[in-house]
Structure 1
Amino acid sequence: MSNLVVVQKRNYVGVLTLNRPQALNAIDDVLQNQILDVLEKWKFDSRIYIILINSSSERAFCAGGDIRKIADLVRSGKKQKGLEIFKYNYVLANYILHYSKPIISVMDGITMGGGIGLGAFATYRFVTERSILAMPEVMIGLTPDAGSSFLFQNAPGFSGLRAMLTGQRFNGNTAIKLGFADYMIYSSELELFLQKLTELQPNEINFFLSTYKQSYEFDNKTLKQIADIYQASSVAKIIEKLRKSKYNWAVCDFKTILKACPFSLEVTYRAWHLKLPTQEAVLTRDLLLVSHLIQRADFLEGVRAAVIDKDHNPKWNQAPISESEINSCFDY
């Protein structure tokens, strides 16, 4: 079995480095099991006080689940096996959230899908100037998952709904504004940061980490503009508001949202408004929604356009969407 994680014990710090760079550390069953095996052992290692999860690649922390593999399984009639890959991401996110020792995640580079679940539910969530976070699932016929809608629903105003419906990429500063991270560090400082961290005693670590904490926030004007557009009674009304808007960002949003899967937009809009109280509840709902969405032709078409042919010109199902179709996705 290949080593998809590199493990180090450095003083009181356990360092777990994701090492599947050719796949941007996309999470499959093998990578998930290796991560869980290491973390489970470190639970009972009295020498390890804190865990740091990073990547061997400067390009990506973790790009999420292996979407191409999922699509191949669905296409060959193995939908349940495809769904299992989503489960790997969700189990990992829940495990990280409830882990008994503090975890530092360094979301340096691309962090999407299950990568959000792995990094954004850690105790200390770091981003860098190279961080690119996103949940672009509406662009492939899915909906933001891996527990991300729990963060989006708690983001200021309607900023989370906007990010979900547009699948927008956001940098480290915006990740902090949206509630996906709390700490900022320059990528050039990461090696020195780790060196200093491993020289500390446990009672010194929290203060050391606090020096990197940031409190970037959306200004009230921006939040009001976003609410002017996204506080609407339907996706259609949001799109109409975007079409008429003179805000520069809204013009970009309009072009982007028109590329998204119409059915995914409806499901995502509903999911954001049906706010759930815990991450566990959101993860359960995510699996339910995904189980429906991967069975739709839009999913395979979205993956074809975005991942396989990369023409970014999906031919979505344009049939009218009924309320009962949307409701069925939320029926347990």
Structure 2
Amino acid sequence: MTDGSEPEILFAQRGMAGLVTLNRPKTLNALSLPMMRALHAQLDAWEADDAVTRVVIRGAGGRAFCAGGDIRQVYELARAGRHDEVSEFWLGEYQLDAAVRRFPKPYIALIEGFVMGGGVGISLHGSHRVASERYAFAMPEVGIGFFPDVGTTYALPLLPGRAGTYLALTGARIGAGDALDLGLATHYAAAADFDAITARLCEGGDVGEAIAAHGATPPAPDLVPEARRLIEDAFSGDSVTEILHRLDRAAPDLAFAAETAALMRTRSPRSLMIAHEQMRRGADLDFAQAQRLEYRLAIRTMAAHDFYEGVRSVIVDKDGRPAWSPARLDEIDPAAIAADFAPLEGPEPDMNPMRER
């Protein structure tokens, strides 16, 4: 419940559409495990209901579509030793992402404000992603000692020009113009028109036409061609250290290179190495394989130092001074990173492998 009286997630059926509203605006619509389970169950019900021909999902409050999973809840559960519940959180989140990806009907995310982490998982894998003027995409997990998950091991390596590796290793935010250019968003419309788009979608008819009827001219990308060329060159480096070397070489002539290198140096070194390996491996994985890999990494990250220190610094104490351990890239054993990707002992959970649409 949001305040003891309202549900955290709202469902309605209007006309031919199933409507979802993420209803935790005070937490930027962060996903709790009950929200994820409820959405998963509702998608299963609507998939079987011939009266529902499409699903529309939005976030309440205007500031965020969804800023991610409820990481503070995970942090508190893990600190309390409730590790089974932590594992259930990751499993519930990843199974929901798989359900979104395999959903056989149009799934339209109307995105206003932040879309990060778990919010990416419940939007990017659907058929339609409508960005508004306040759209802000990021996978900022390397800044809290975690790693880019929710299926981005599969999705980010598919982006052109090493942009996915750039997003994974920096946690940088991009707006609607860049999201459309990279394929993270499929359409653009003003947030003020989202109600009208929803109403038209409820009437049935072609989904693309309903969105286009209220479409608007999107902003130009912020990543100018010079920055895109740098990203493609620098982030094709075969290690995080090499990427930083390439950025440093370009820094005297390009402020974007210096800013990017400085941002990366604030991130968890362990997370940077994991994210780089994810992007390398992800190019050869299908969605189900990528999800299994992410679950392994999530379980092992819960036994490492940096997640707790990152959440403490960014979310709990908000001092912005994480003490990463190891503190330097050259202090990390590559064999230890490789071991994080190995199968878990015993049977691994079913991530609901996708069925092709």
* TM bucket normalised to smaller: over 0.9
State the Cα distance separating 1:306 from its structure 2 match. Answer: 0.5
Q: Distance in 1 between matches of 2:156 and 2:297?
A: 16
State the Cα distance separating 1:213 from its structure 2 match. Answer: 9.4
Q: Where do residues 188-227 of structure 1 align in structure 2 (5 Å cutoff)?
A: 188-199=192-203, 201-202=204-205, 204-210=206-212, 212=215, 221-227=226-232
The aligned residue for residue 234 of structure 2 is: 229
Corresponding letter in the other structure for 1:114: G
- 2:258 is the alignment partner of 1:251: yes
Q: Distance in 2 between matches of 1:36 and 1:77?
A: 27
The aligned residue for residue 246 of structure 2 is: 241
- 2:319 is the alignment partner of 1:296: no
User: CA separation of 1:71/1:205 partners in 2, compared to 1, >3 Å: closer, same or farther?
Assistant: closer
The aligned residue for residue 322 of structure 1 is: 333
Unaligned runs of 5+ in 1: none
User: CA separation of 1:205/1:161 partners in 2, compared to 1, >3 Å: closer, same or farther?
Assistant: closer
Equivalent pair of 1:176/1:214 in contact (CA under 8 Å): no
Say which is worse superposed, 34-43 or 50-59, in terms of deviation: 34-43
Equivalent pair of 1:151/1:178 in contact (CA under 8 Å): no
Q: Distance in 1 between matches of 2:15 and 2:289?
A: 37
Q: Distance in 1 between matches of 2:212 and 2:288?
A: 28
Q: Distance in 1 between matches of 2:18 and 2:340?
A: 41
Unaligned runs of 5+ in 2: 344-357
The aligned residue for residue 76 of structure 2 is: 72
Say which is worse superposed, 140-149 or 174-183, in terms of deviation: 174-183
The aligned residue for residue 288 of structure 2 is: 280
Q: Distance in 2 between matches of 1:103 and 1:233?
A: 37
Equivalent pair of 2:189/2:216 in contact (CA under 8 Å): no
The aligned residue for residue 86 of structure 2 is: 82
SS in 2 for 1:16: strand
- RMSD (Å), alpha carbons: 2.1
SS in 2 for 1:157: helix
SS in 1 for 2:122: helix
SS in 2 for 1:158: helix
Q: Distance in 1 between matches of 2:51 and 2:238?
A: 54
Q: Where do residues 81-230 of structure 1 align in structure 2 (5 Å cutoff)?
A: 81-199=85-203, 201-202=204-205, 204-210=206-212, 212=215, 221-230=226-235
Identity %: 28
Q: Distance in 2 between matches of 1:50 and 1:107?
A: 16
Q: How many residues align?
A: 330
State the Cα distance separating 1:219 from its structure 2 match. Answer: 6.9
User: CA separation of 1:73/1:260 partners in 2, compared to 1, >3 Å: closer, same or farther?
Assistant: same
User: CA separation of 1:306/1:49 partners in 2, compared to 1, >3 Å: closer, same or farther?
Assistant: same
Q: Distance in 1 between matches of 2:259 and 2:21?
A: 36
Say which is worse superposed, 206-215 or 270-279, in terms of deviation: 206-215
State the Cα distance separating 1:243 from its structure 2 match. Answer: 2.4
State the Cα distance separating 1:113 from its structure 2 match. Answer: 0.8
State the Cα distance separating 1:150 from its structure 2 match. Answer: 1.6
Q: Distance in 1 between matches of 2:36 and 2:314?
A: 24
Equivalent pair of 1:158/1:226 in contact (CA under 8 Å): yes
